[in-house]
Structure 1
Amino acid sequence: MFAEYLLPILMVVFLFIGIFTGYPVAFILGGLAIIFALIGDVPLPFLGMMGSRIYGGVLENWLYIAIPLFVFMGLMLEKSGVASRLLLTLQRLFGRVRGGLAISVALLGVVMAASTGIVGASVVMLGLLALPVMLKQNYKPEMACGVIAASGTLGILIPPSIMLVLIGSIMQVSVGNLFKAALIPGLMLGVLYIAYLLIMGRLKPDWMPLADTDAVDHDKTPLALALTRDLVGPVFLMVTVLGSIMMGIATPTEAAAIGALGAIFLAVVARKLTYTTLRDVCYDTAKTTAMIIFIVITATAFSLIFKRLGGDYMILDLFDATGLGSYGLLLAIMVLIFILGFFLEWIEISYVILPILLPVIGLMDFGMSTQATLVWFAILMAINLQTSFLTPPFGYALFYLKGITNGQVKITTIYKSIIPYVLLQLTGLLLCIAFPAIVLWLPGLI
């Protein structure tokens, strides 16, 4: 078997070697595709077809228009000051609860996740807003950093999620169904975070001191009025975007356009829409979109060459040799994705690993329809991939947070801080595996 599948094995080996060199992943994927196409004597007509596949499957895919629109929406909300005002109001609401500021950060993470869907922007925003205040209130750094990093990653799962847009495109599954299926698991993770914070407030009160009353009540606006003022905008935007998708009124791309326009409107209301803000948001949107699309193009080329050299048959033979049943295979795949998340970003895993695993997924029998199985598996994979933002050594959320601490917190402290949240995410994943209705109830209802 080793000799028969030597080239696909070498492709995987050199992919990991290239990643550890620190070289840009997109160049590694594209370079390996070209090199192994030459080594494997792949016919030129196939390479021409690969170009057509990339153009027709990626560059002409209307669904990908949603990516820059969702990115624009998230960045505009970040610049508009909506999040900072909401955090201060939530802090007033929970100010007299031990760990109230940490709970406010978790709630803000849920609200902004449902409004943005961008992990980098969410973690940086939460870190800049909350970390100095939490450290000033004598929160233990492990507690402060953990809740900020974990809450920021909810944006990749709670819709509208760029990850779900890409996974839906790869698996040929309705993105609207994925958005419906991801909503309850995403909110469940937020509830698990808050429950953990409440428990730790009881067990380790010195880790999360009560806030100073004067610091919490510096805003003299009545609390009910402040909540209405600061919650209406984000919640209305969230309901408009998600509601239009779930009710079948708009496609994800059309809903993304509505969201982008709504974010501009909120910035106008907040009097934060200036030429400089608009320029910076457009520039960052272009950078983020270009990075994602470049990786998608090169990962598509890598996967096509890998399959051409027999990589998909290698994976099938490997899983057949295990003799595991459907649930055994599912758990093996989840463990594999979790381990890969230590080293690879979610985009590479989605576009390199998922196309290879699709034939294996098709062989599984869980007593449900094929479409339901695909939706369920996609959400399980999305929950699993969320942990890749938190697991060292390449957890991107950890480095986003480290970059804004100005040396106040060591990277080892940040690593320790995320352990409970990784365990909570794995708990959520196991619950969704054991009880598929958590994922499939809402798509079946609507």
Structure 2
Amino acid sequence: MEALTEFLPAIMFLSLIVGLFSALPVPIVLSGITLIFAFIALALGEMRFVHISLIPTRIYGGVIDNAVLVAAPMFIFMGVMMEKTRIAEDLLLTLQKLLARVPGGLSLAVVLMGTILAAATGIIGASVVMLTVMALPTMMRAGYAAPLATGTIASAGTLGILIPPSVMLVFMSDLLSLNLAKVFVAAFLPGLFLAAVYLVYIVARSFLRPGETPPAAKLSAADSKGLWREALVSVSFPLLLIIAVLGSIIGGFASPTEASGVGAFAALVLGLVRGRLNMKVLGEAVDGSLRTIALLFFIFAAATAFAYVFRKIGGDDFIIELARSLNLGDWTLLFMMMAIVFVMGFFFDWIEITLILLPIFAPIVDLMDLGDHIAKADLVYWFTILVAVNLQTSFLTPPFGFALFYMKGAAGDLVSMGDIYRGIIPFVLLQIAVLFILIWQPEIALWLPAQVLTK
């Protein structure tokens, strides 16, 4: 009995991993394992009935009554509204025309579009599908190599996981009890840096292998006429949305929660100005947003209950003692945690990975000390950005890279799954390279918060 009690947290964690591989819905797995181990702990005397009765209160206080999480539904609605009113579509078509004669111009347009879309929406599935539907047929007709076209679209579409206002960053900040504004600002430069690395890679590949990125046909006089005016209009609408959200946060005018409301309202206004907002579009946006929000909050409520029971049976102490017993050193622990996140990305979505690993890693990070490389107060924020960059690969790595399935579903017979798998390999390697650069130079993530949030 004593041995069972001692290893109960490890058994609970391993049971969760096995349950997730069962293909059952994630919130059902989390809820079921939570209840099973709560009653096991009750039988072993590790918990009392009063602790079990407090689980609904913990869910209410941690999820339903959490002011920070109000930002997530608003950002989701903002992104869906941008899609339904076709503001994002206008921007991509304009960028394609502007870069038509540049080698690799269509790929560059997709990356730029993905970057702007990430800063304006932060929803991965919608971004990947939208870019696939709008850009992939054009790129294939232009003679682009299928692996380059698919890799560019998939990687650009997943930038929203890192560039704020990312829904993932909202949930990660809450899990680690961090200042959401600081996390948003810290993620901004790494996100732009990763996008810039994509652009440099595409330009270099276009020069080295010009056959993969043939220049498009010259625009007709009709298409060229008024192009810059069209570009100004197309760019200004997403830019206004980005300024409304990120500008209000960085400028100190609004908290991230308040800025999410500003962004949702701005998306409605922009759709109205473009003449594309009506009751049908509004209904579709609300319905799509509610479905996404319901799934996320069901998972988050179940994860809150899981974390509560895990801590009650001694999970935190077990993790700390395990980390100390390994005697690996802080740098080795850091790279080990990054490796675990990367490997889990082959099998799980970011939701499962963050909800499983962050509560486990948090006490380990609190114990770490990397000396002069990074201040202790900034360590957890830096670690959060490292995990966010690492998690972007979870959308791209087979066999369960969700962005790959989104793309294949939207692309139909235009490309094969093999083309998609070959296409993402260089972009995953670029993400890993950026991750190592951020480990080497933490100021990339920490410089902007120090400049902006201390003024």
Q: Same fold (TM over 0.5)?
A: yes
Deviates more, 1:407-416 or 1:435-444: 407-416
Deviates more, 1:154-163 or 1:218-227: 218-227
Deviation (angstroms), 1:340: 1.4
Match in the other structure for 1:388: 394
Match in the other structure for 2:245: 241
Change (3 A) 1:411 1:8: farther
Separation in 2, partners of 1:322, 1:221: 67
Match in the other structure for 2:274: 270
Residue 254 of structure 2 is aligned to residue 250 of structure 1: yes
Residue 226 of structure 2 is aligned to residue 203 of structure 1: no
Match in the other structure for 2:309: 305
Match in the other structure for 2:331: 327
Deviation (angstroms), 1:4: 5.8
Residue 296 of structure 2 is aligned to residue 292 of structure 1: yes
Give secondary structure in 2 for the equivalent of 1:324: coil
Match in the other structure for 2:440: 434
**Which of 375, 391, 403 is the aligned partner of 1:397?**
403
Deviation (angstroms), 1:281: 0.4
Deviates more, 1:345-354 or 1:357-366: 345-354
Match in the other structure for 1:13: 14
**Contact preservation (8 Å) 1:390, 1:398:** yes
Note the 1:417-432 alignment, pairs <5 A: 417-432=423-438
Match in the other structure for 1:66: 71
Change (3 A) 1:221 1:265: farther
Separation in 2, partners of 1:274, 1:432: 45
Separation in 1, partners of 2:7, 2:422: 39
Separation in 1, partners of 2:343, 2:309: 24
Match in the other structure for 1:356: 360
Match in the other structure for 2:422: 416
Q: Deviation digits for residues 214-267 of structure 1, max 9, x if unmatched?
A: 47x763443332221111111121012101111211011111111111111111
Separation in 2, partners of 1:109, 1:28: 33
Separation in 2, partners of 1:2, 1:390: 40
Deviation (angstroms), 1:5: 4.5
Separation in 2, partners of 1:408, 1:227: 29
Separation in 1, partners of 2:8, 2:225: 67
Separation in 2, partners of 1:360, 1:236: 41
**Contact preservation (8 Å) 1:115, 1:160:** yes
Deviation (angstroms), 1:2: 7.8
Deviation (angstroms), 1:370: 3.7
Task: For 2:147, give the aligned amino acid.
Answer: E
Separation in 1, partners of 2:282, 2:361: 41
Match in the other structure for 1:185: 190
Give secondary structure in 1 for the equivalent of 2:411: coil
Separation in 1, partners of 2:107, 2:375: 41
Residue 244 of structure 2 is aligned to residue 231 of structure 1: no
Structure 1 runs, 4 residues or longer, greater than 6 Å off: none
Deviation (angstroms), 1:3: 5.6
Separation in 2, partners of 1:40, 1:411: 46
Match in the other structure for 1:377: 383
Deviates more, 1:193-202 or 1:340-349: 340-349
**Contact preservation (8 Å) 1:302, 1:352:** no
Separation in 2, partners of 1:221, 1:244: 36
Give secondary structure in 2 for the equivalent of 1:213: coil
**Contact preservation (8 Å) 2:91, 2:235:** yes
Deviation (angstroms), 1:14: 2.6
Task: For 1:308, give the aligned amino acid.
Answer: K
Deviates more, 1:140-149 or 1:43-52: 43-52
Task: For 1:194, give the aligned amino acid.
Answer: L
Separation in 1, partners of 2:450, 2:288: 37
Deviation (angstroms), 1:44: 1.3
Match in the other structure for 1:365: 369
Match in the other structure for 2:139: 134
**Contact preservation (8 Å) 1:181, 1:379:** yes
Match in the other structure for 2:39: 38
Separation in 2, partners of 1:5, 1:218: 75
Deviation (angstroms), 1:324: 2.1
Change (3 A) 1:218 1:382: farther
Give secondary structure in 2 for the equivalent of 1:202: helix
**Contact preservation (8 Å) 2:62, 2:304:** no
Deviation (angstroms), 1:322: 2.5
Separation in 2, partners of 1:345, 1:113: 18
**Contact preservation (8 Å) 2:110, 2:135:** yes
**Contact preservation (8 Å) 2:137, 2:414:** no
Q: CA RMSD in A?
A: 1.7
Deviation (angstroms), 1:295: 0.6
Q: Deviation digits for residues 14-37 of structure 1, max 9, x if unmatched?
A: 323222221111100111111111
Task: For 1:315, give the aligned amino acid.
Answer: I
Residue 53 of structure 2 is aligned to residue 48 of structure 1: yes
Q: Deviation digits for residues 85-124 of structure 1, max 9, x if unmatched?
A: 2112211221111110010000000001000011111111
Deviation (angstroms), 1:351: 2.0
Separation in 1, partners of 2:387, 2:184: 14
Change (3 A) 1:413 1:16: farther
Match in the other structure for 1:22: 23
Q: Which runs of 5+ in 2 are unaligned?
A: none
Change (3 A) 1:5 1:421: farther
Task: For 1:273, give the aligned amino acid.
Answer: L
Q: Deviation digits for residues 38-60 of structure 1, max 9, x if unmatched?
A: 22323211112222111101110
Separation in 1, partners of 2:259, 2:245: 5
Give secondary structure in 2 for the equivalent of 1:114: helix
Separation in 1, partners of 2:95, 2:256: 30
Q: Deviation digits for residues 366-419 of structure 1, max 9, x if unmatched?
A: 234443112111111111111111111111111111111123322232122111
Separation in 2, partners of 1:208, 1:4: 61
Separation in 1, partners of 2:151, 2:178: 33
Q: How many residues align?
A: 445
Separation in 2, partners of 1:106, 1:218: 26
Separation in 2, partners of 1:82, 1:218: 22
Separation in 2, partners of 1:221, 1:352: 54
